[in-house]
Amino acid sequence: EVQLVESGGGLVQPGRSLKLSCLASGFTFSNYGMNWIRQAPGKGLEWVASISSSSSYIYYADTVKGRFTISRDNAKNTLYLQMTSLRSEDTALYYCARRTHSGPYWGQGVMVTVSS
C-alpha cells in the first residue's frame, strides 16, 4: 500500500524557518517525481514545488521561489521542504504528493501555522 506520511509542521514565528519531511513507503520512491502542495485555511489548493526522481529537475511556485527548497533522499525514501523567511500567508496544510499518470497521489498533510 502506498503511504506518504508528512511530519515537521507546527507553529512558527514570521521570518523563521521550518523543515517538512515526507516518508514514503509501498513503492519504489526513487522512480517517482514528487511534489509539495498546500491549502491555506478556507482557500483552494496551490502547487508549491516539484522535484524529479533523481533531483535533476526542480521547480517552484513564484510565491515561494527563493524562500523554499525542495529536496529528496532516495536512500531514506524521504522528501523534504525547507521553508525559510516564513510569512503569515504560508500558513496552510502541506501535502506531499507522488507524481502518477493519473495525477498526484497525496498524503494526509501536515499543518504549518505562521504567527507571532
Partner 1 sequence: DIQMTQSPSFLSASVGDRVTINCKASQNINKYLNWYQQKLGEAPKRLIYNTNNLQTGIPSRFSGSGSGTDYTLTISSLQPEDFATYFCLQHNSLLTFGSGTKLEIK
Displacement of CA 16 from its chain's centroid (Å): 17
Q: Considering only residues 6, 18, 35, 86, which one is a binding residue for partner 1 as defined by CB under 8 A?
A: 35
| Smallest separation, CB 102 to partner 1 (Å) | 4
Q: Strands across the sheet with 68-73, in order? A: 3-7, 18-25, 78-83, 68-73
Grid coordinates given for 48: 508549491
> Around 107, how many Cα atoms within 13 Å sit in the side-chain half-sphere?
26
Give whichever of 13 and 101 is closer to partner 1, judged by the CB atom: 101
Nearest C-alpha neighbor of 113 from the set 80, 88, 84, 85: 88
Grid coordinates given for 56: 535533476
Binding segment for partner 1 among 13-21, 24-32, 65-73, 98-106 (CB under 8 A)? 98-106
Q: Considering only residues 10, 26, 30, 59, which one is a binding residue for partner 1 as defined by CB under 8 A?
A: 59
Give whichever of 50 and 91 is closer to partner 1, judged by the CB atom: 50
Positions in the binding site for partner 1 (CB under 8 A):
35, 37, 44-47, 50, 59, 99, 101-104, 106, 108-109
